[in-house]
Amino acid sequence: MKNVIFTILIVFLGFTSFAQQKSFDVKIIGKGKPVVLIPGYSCSGDVWKETADHLKNKYQLHILTLAGYAGTKPIDSPILQTVHNEIIAYVKTNKLNKPIVIGHSLGAFMGLWLSSSEPDLFGKLICVDGVPFISALTNPDITADSLKDDPRYNLEAVINNFKAIPNEGYVDYMTKAMLYQVQDSTRARQIAEWSYASDRRTLGATIIEMSLTDLRKDIARIKSPVLVLTSLFNTKENSAKIYNQQYAALPNKTIKVADSKHFIMYDQPEWFYTEIDTFLNSK
């Protein structure tokens, strides 16, 4: 009986441990050096499908979809802090040796957060059109503290705004909006469908959590090389200026400006693959 109870306890604890990692789903493909791919705001891990096809013969890819996005089960707030903590736990539990991190948009922000929190745990980082403090993109003097009393950044108000968006016409409306972020209309509709399938509370909470988290000083702790790929903000000169301001504290960085909208891996795939291959193959 004692052995039966012990076995049941082990099984129960095993399931409990598994249940605690609920802030993302993981799809693992390929063999080789580990790479963690983190999608952007509201997107499925399938946003990396073509990138994964390009990399899977040389790398073991851990492709995430964050909780509450694109039909995955949501979790309670603070969402991004939980994602951050559980990715670190996932890397340690699975003994991934200095995994490369590739993140798009919010995923790039998460990559910066991970690498600055655990600089010895993670390897090279590729940030695809993401920054350490999105709220300061147009005004570098803005601080997180200065925004906390701003009604536009009120968590519950933003969540309620998302919940109030009617389902009818949502995908069509978002498809039009996404055409400002990606060139191809089919891609725009796919991104809109991921947004529609996302939990509304998660959409509101994660944009506010990211908008009120300033990593600009923290990134000075990152030890591994970082490749930053930015989309076009009017001109390449303007894009470079904005991103150099955002990444000023990061010691070992390369910033490249794409002739592209936000989804660089969709708009300029060959340029994107060339840049990431060159970076990953360098010492």
Q: Is 246 helix (H, G, I), strand (E, B) or coil?
A: helix
Residue 119 has pLDDT above 50, yes or no: yes
Tell me the CA distances in angstroms from 224 to 72, 123, 132, 152, 188, one per residue in order: 31, 6, 16, 36, 33
Residue 8 has pLDDT above 70, yes or no: no
Residue 230 has pLDDT above 90, yes or no: yes
Residue 203 has pLDDT above 80, yes or no: yes
Residues 6+ apart with CB under 8 A from 189: 171, 175, 178
Mean pLDDT calculated for residue range 57-73: 98
Mean pLDDT calculated for residue range 263-273: 99
Mean pLDDT calculated for residue range 86-96: 98
The structure's pTM equals 0.92
**Confidence tier at 9 by pLDDT (50, 70, 90):** very low
**Confidence tier at 45 by pLDDT (50, 70, 90):** very high
The residue assigned the tokens 């991190």 is 101
Strand 59-66 versus strand 125-128 pairing type: unpaired
Question: According to the model, what pLDDT value does residue 75 have?
Answer: 97
Residues 6+ apart with CB under 8 A from 166: none
**Confidence tier at 283 by pLDDT (50, 70, 90):** confident
- Cβ neighbours around 65 below 10 Å, total: 22
Nearest to 64 by CA among 99, 12, 116: 99
Considering only residues 191 and 19, tell me which one the structure prediction assigns the higher pLDDT: 191
d(CA 12, CA 14): 5
- Cβ neighbours around 227 below 10 Å, total: 20
- Cβ neighbours around 36 below 10 Å, total: 27
Tell me the domains of the chain and their CATH numbers.
Answer: 25-281 (3.40.50.1820)
Which residue type is seen at 83? V
Question: According to the model, what pLDDT value does residue 120 have?
Answer: 99
Tell me the CA distances in angstroms from 270 to 50, 100, 155, one per residue in order: 11, 20, 39
Question: According to the model, what pLDDT value does residue 21 have?
Answer: 55
d(CA 81, CA 226): 22
Mean pLDDT calculated for residue range 196-220: 98
Mean pLDDT calculated for residue range 121-134: 99
